[in-house]
Structure 1
Amino acid sequence: MLKVMLVDDEPFITQGLKVLIDWEKEGFEIVKIANDGEEAYEYLKENDLDLIISDIKMPGMTGIELLEKVREEKLSDAYFVILSGYSDFSYTQKAIWYNCMDYVLKPVNKSDLITVLKKVSESSEQEKLKKLHTNKTEKAYLERYLTSVVLGKFDKNDIEYVESQMDLSWNLRYVSIFIDDENAEIEDKDLRERQKKLYNACLDVLKDYSNNIIFDNADENSYAIGFIYCDYMSNGYNSKFDLFLEYVRKHLEGLLQKKVMMVVGKNVNGTENLCQSYGSVNILKSQLAFHDKKEIYIYDIEFNKNQSGEMLCKNSLDKLILAIEQNDEKAMKNSVDAFYEEIKKSGRSNDAINLNINYLLFQLIHIATKQDNNVNQEEILTYISEQSFDNSFSRGSSEHLLEFSKNYAIYLQQLRKTTVGDVFTQVEELVKEHYAENLNLVEISKRFYINNSYFGRIFYKKYGITFKDYLTVHRVNVACNLLLTTDMRVADIGEAVGYKDRDYFIKKFIEKKGCTPAKYRKSHAQ
């Protein structure tokens, strides 16, 4: 509803206007009736309106004087309509000068008033659309600059522009918000669509801080949303940022009906250091498999730096790295035992183990990246760590580290033999030779030591279809050949290409060829 104020010193005029039409039906609500210009002026100081309909001749402040003060003092952007029994053109000229929308003579005709209101409604809608477009353009412009700052690719002008547009406090954190989903078959376009929905949900929940929200597209395999947290945001949450973020997370889950997770970067001072907080988020993300499962991961907690100045067990870890590179299981066990013995003797806390493992993981990532920089190392670490984990011992234990080391050594060995491009070739050959077997993306991913979710996405990017569809197409093509070159029954052909259920085979055949196997055989035979 558009809010309206009627201004006239004659009560019977305002009452007559009030009952002349069905204001609600036209999309308007009369929220104030003022008896003169002064009363209207005072009301506008404290209240927002969409439309002011005012008499032109009133004692004290006239309608023209009210319009003049409102416009010159920028008190309101409300549309202004002047009512008068005087047809003096000089009044009209002055009203137009101060951006008066219309000028209506008394007595007011019902149809004339409705015409004016429709004009106001249309103008209001156009202004809203224009403002929405402007806001979107400005948001996209700001987001581009903010992304550059977050990635550390900025100059002085970038910083100045961001700070001029945003209320950034001294204490900042980068927060990565994402949907937790282990569905390996979900396609890239669907993941991007879901990221857009998450982005819009963030705008809805964090509407007061919409400028602080950005797409996290630095990595093409990232489907997260970035949020710049400032310390003042948690003022209503006992000044605890984790309570504020948990409130946001739960509301996002309510909107999306999906599990939402957050990774919170370290606290930094100053806009120019946001890239450090962003970097700490990526570090923590790459090592989540070594941490207990939770909804919100906070860098400061997960990597609590020991104040006693604990040192790296570099010699033990370097020996372990070398053993992993050489795939020497005996050397790996000795190095892991030596590492934990050193930790035990030094009396260092369990947090020190995490600090040392960080060093190990970074070195391993570097080694693997040199082999093939197209592989998503974050997902590989997660995958191998989960494969190594056993509920009989805690994460971070020597057994877990040893098992992880063995699996990573095998992964490196496989990586030396083949790149992702070679994997596609091998998968094609695998399908050609074993299409009738129960092939699936999970088992194939394990064979090549590639995370199934990641492999599913890169497979779709290369072929334009999921692995499941790729297998179906190949099976149907083989079936077509058998239909034309043999007299096998349809059910037998279906079983020969991997479908034990005749009806399911026919359904898949129709999906790919547009007709039944029997019709295909008959039409092509003719």
Structure 2
Amino acid sequence: MKKIILVDDEIFARKGLLGLISWNDYGFEIAGEANDGEEAIQLIEELRPDLVISDIRMPVMDGLSLIGEIRDRGIASPKFVIISGYGDFKYAQQAVRFGVQDFLLKPIDEEELAQTLIRIKGVLDREVSRHDSRQSLNLRLERLLAGESDPGYARETANLLGFRADQDFCYFLVERNNTPFGSASEAEAQQRLSGWKRAAAETFGQSLKVTVCEQGVSTFGLIVPSDSLTGLGKSWQALGEALVRAIPEEERAEVRIYAGKPAKGLHAVAESYRTAKKAVRYKFAFADSRFIGYEQTLEAELNYVELDAKLHARLVESVEESDAGSCAHLVDRMFETFCRERFAPESVRSAIARCVLGVISIVREMEGAEQELSSLKPVLDWHEEPHTPDGLKRLFHTFLTESLAYIAELRKEKAKGDICKIKSYIEANYRENLSLKSIAKKFYMNPVYLGQLFKKTYGVYFNDFLLNIRVQEAKKLLRKTDLRVYEIASYVGFSNADYFATQFEKVEGKTPTEYKNSLLAKN
């Protein structure tokens, strides 16, 4: 039995409709009733009905809004029949645009309702039949590709597909790359992939038969018989290039197509499928190729190697030094290396992960939180969805750019905290042999940057600040003790008494002795 939900804010109208005909005689059962659109949404999500019959005018949420909400949410895909009055013709027109199956005028005619149910039941049955047929065929194709079929089973499948089982076959894998993270982007990418399937089918012309094999959200496969080579130079390579050209130009950079080893007969297509999957692994080795055929994979072996340690170290150092230009240059060199040295995907993944972990270490050393980097998860999980070399490079660049900005911000925050510590350190250790260079080394800062930051923060140069502290302390000692000038000079951090006297006079306008004598003259 097909399930129906009735939606109407008037309970008597619902009950009248409920008893109007024998629903079971037409293959339907009433699974639930709702007073308005909002209540109907909950029921539809819970019961997943095959058909919803709804009044067009209701409080809270009307019939059209209900249809729109169900379509937008994608929680179910029931058929809709709208009930309307004579004055609701403009709404009925909109309902047709929404894709409703039918609309019934009040008062509802029993015969008209029965004919509507018969027609919709037919539509639903045909959809189920097509779905079951496709499911059955998909299972057959899965067995073929898994190598679990014999020649007899392959012949049966070929008959269903309209192929000659004894001709050559080649498996083509069409791959969508660089899908941005996020559900909205994923839905958009799925739409594009469906368009590519249509383009691929159109490439062969209506008279040629090609079987589409579902491979997941990012790829689909094509089992292509050799008679599809007619008009394409009888070359699988030419066919692959034609497929690439069939993709819309603005999306072509995101597609990669791979071809396996041609198989002698449909029963052997599993080997073509296996070698097409192997060709995918050459994506970084043939970075500029949008089509990679089995023959190309025979040209060179993939290498399972580590990225040059010096290149990795220089990249991490460039991040630490906030050198964006050097980072960009080194990333280009990395990807050139992937291609030149035929890096296997595992080696590419290892190289990217190693560099990312190096950047994370810098962030942690600066007391930052790598979770603040929105590009971290995409760059760590890039291998979970297909990426072209250029797509991965853009993803990696995005991560490094964000990391450079975040590290610069951390450095500023750290410097703000450190400059206070530095000031306190100078005030506590002014007697020591202090210099801008020695303090910068102690606090792991660049001396030039420290000098600029100190002046910006306190409005005075480092040397003048240190001198002023020493002179003020010397004045206290001149006022309160009988220490000699050379003793005071040594106490406040000067190794040379004459130099101390010169610097004291520079600040106070008089020598230490003159300052002492002026104090005595006042007594």
TM range (shorter): 0.3 to 0.5
Q: Quick check: which has more Rg, 1 or 2?
A: 2
TM-score, normalised with respect to structure 1: 0.37
TM-score, normalised with respect to structure 2: 0.37
